[in-house]
Amino acid sequence: MTTSEAQTRSQAAARLRVAVPSVADRVAAELRLQLAEGRLLPGNRLTESTIAEELGVSRNTVREAFAELAAERLVVRHPNRGVFVASLAPGDIHDVYTVRRAIEVSAIRGGGGPERVAAVRAAVEEGKAAAAADDDEALGSANAHFHGAIVALAGSRRLDTIMSQVLAEMRLFFHKATVEADFYRGYLADNEEICAALEAGELDRAGRLLLAYLDRSEEKQTAVHGE
């Protein structure tokens, strides 16, 4: 026991720290979860003392967690008024899609190695399986995986985190939009076609398809969430 522990330690010395997440991180993770599940809705207020008591932590710790979430744009701080679950205005939707267009199209044009392309393919199949099982929840997450895999083609840690933040931000206001069952369903064919083009090495075409997809998706989102 002690031996394996010591081994683990010495191995992890350089980069891979076996870091126990701090309490603040766990609080942030819990809030992130509630945000993703829609238990906290945009505009909701998060009171420090309430959350501190609910989770059995100090107010200062909650505060640190808020800082994390604010950096991820999941909540907004109104000075002296409190933090609120972020709510996206119509302009923000366009803004988010502008980021997605920049990142995803650039990533897919780079191509990426075979194993990364395989990850995209896996996400496509995951979506098909979810559709077959009629699992809307799984369908949505498969779609997120697909686009995450697209960005991962670039092999950039920074692009990956940016994308994951954008996806988290979108989940925030998808809860309202996803009530209609076949919201993602129409995108399955798109994903398949994009993936096929990617596998065939037709990067330019894949890029154009993806761009068109994003434009349509933005349009739909704007309409649904619309003002």
Partner DNA sequence: AATCGTCGGATTGTTGAACAATCGTCGCAA
Partner DNA sequence: TTGCGACGATTGTTCAACAATCCGACGATT
Instruction: Find which of DNA, its own copies, none residue 46 binds, CB within 5 to 8 Å per kind.
Output: DNA
Query: From CA 165, how far away is CA 72, in angstroms rounded?
Result: 6
**For DNA, what does the binding mask look like between residues 77 and 116, x meaning CB under 7 A?**
x-xxxxx---------------------------------
Site for its own copies in 19-78 (CB under 8 A): 19-20, 22, 60, 63-64, 67-68, 71-73, 76, 78
Closest contact distance (angstroms) between CB of 47 and DNA is 4
Instruction: Find which of its own copies, DNA, none residue 99 binds, CB within 5 to 8 Å per kind.
Output: its own copies
Query: From CA 104, how far away is CA 102, in angstroms rounded?
Result: 6
Residue with tokens 């803004």: 95
Instruction: Find which of its own copies, DNA, none residue 16 binds, CB within 5 to 8 Å per kind.
Output: none
Query: From CA 86, how far away is CA 116, in angstroms rounded?
Result: 33
Residue 38 as a binder of DNA (CB under 7 A): the answer is no
Instruction: Report the length, in residues, of the chain.
Output: 227
Tell me phi and psi for residue 45, to 5 degrees: -95, 140
Q: How many other C-beta atoms can be found within 10 angstroms of the C-beta atom of residue 109?
A: 15
Residue in 15, 16, 49, 114 binding DNA, rule: CB under 7 A: 49
Residue 63 as a binder of DNA (CB under 7 A): the answer is yes
Instruction: Find which of DNA, its own copies, none residue 49 binds, CB within 5 to 8 Å per kind.
Output: DNA
DSSP codes, 149-188: HHHHTT--HHHHHHHHHHHHHHHHHHHHHTTSGGGTTTHH
Q: Which is closer to DNA, CB of 39 or CB of 94?
A: 39
